[in-house]
Amino acid sequence: MVEVKRIVTGAIEENCYLIYEDVTALIVDPGDDFPKIMQTIEDLQVTPVAILLTHCHYDHIGALEETRTTYNVPVYVSSLEKDWLSNPELNLSVHGGKPVIAQSADFEFEMMRDYTIGGLSFRVVPTPGHSPGGVSFIFEDFVITGDALFQGSVGRTDLPGGDHEALLEGIREQLFTLEDEMQIYPGHGDASTIGDEKLTNPFFN
């Protein structure tokens, strides 16, 4: 059974996730507080096999280099934001206190493609609008939505590259077409379900 562990990191309380089954784990958005991420990995006694990025704003990649070098795992990112990893202007870390400069990703996601990494299977779908290359990861009974869809809200679109209409369209087309009971694990805040957000999210009602 695939399980999800949320690790709240950094001043903006970004959600890093460990997606794991047995001893194999995927790390999603290692935003900050690497010692906290490492301790959780040790506590769960899992072995990371890859790092997946929903997008490349600094609060989601602040601990990327420490994480990738410690565990020697590949990094996956949208091709639209591959250059953001090494550019503090693009990843907005110039405004966040300390510049984030990460190495290039190992792989670029293909949209609408199914991946299996270390026995863990998911589909990558585009959910841009908060940022141009924002993606979500659809697993069998849950979806990691990054900063696209939150419990009771959606991602902000007033940052460079933001597009409010694209954000709402992506959520409708890629997320609201999923089963109502699908769990949502967003980039900030608590979990929800697709059904709850379709019914109660003020941006759609």
Read off the pLDDT of residues 37-91 as tens digits, 9 standing for 90 and up: 999 999 999 999 999 999 999 999 999 999 999 999 999 999 999 999 999 999 9
Place 25 in a pLDDT band, splitting at 50, 70 and 90. Answer: very high
C-beta pairs of 189-196 under 8 Å, 24+ apart in sequence:
189/13, 189/15, 189/150, 189/151, 189/153, 190/151, 191/6, 191/151, 192/150, 192/151, 192/152, 194/143, 196/151
Could you tell me the pTM of the whole model? 0.98
**Amino acid occupying residue 44:** L
> Residue length, the chain?
205
Domains of the chain listed by start with CATH number: 3-200 (3.60.15.10)
Read off the pLDDT of residues 128-164 as tens digits, 9 standing for 90 and up: 999 999 999 999 999 999 999 999 999 999 999 999 9
Task: Report which of residues 155 and 95 the model is more confident about.
Answer: 155
As a whole number, the mean pLDDT across the chain is 97
Instruction: Write the DSSP symbol of residue 38.
Output: H
Read off the pLDDT of residues 159-204 as tens digits, 9 standing for 90 and up: 999 999 999 999 999 999 999 999 999 999 999 999 999 999 999 9
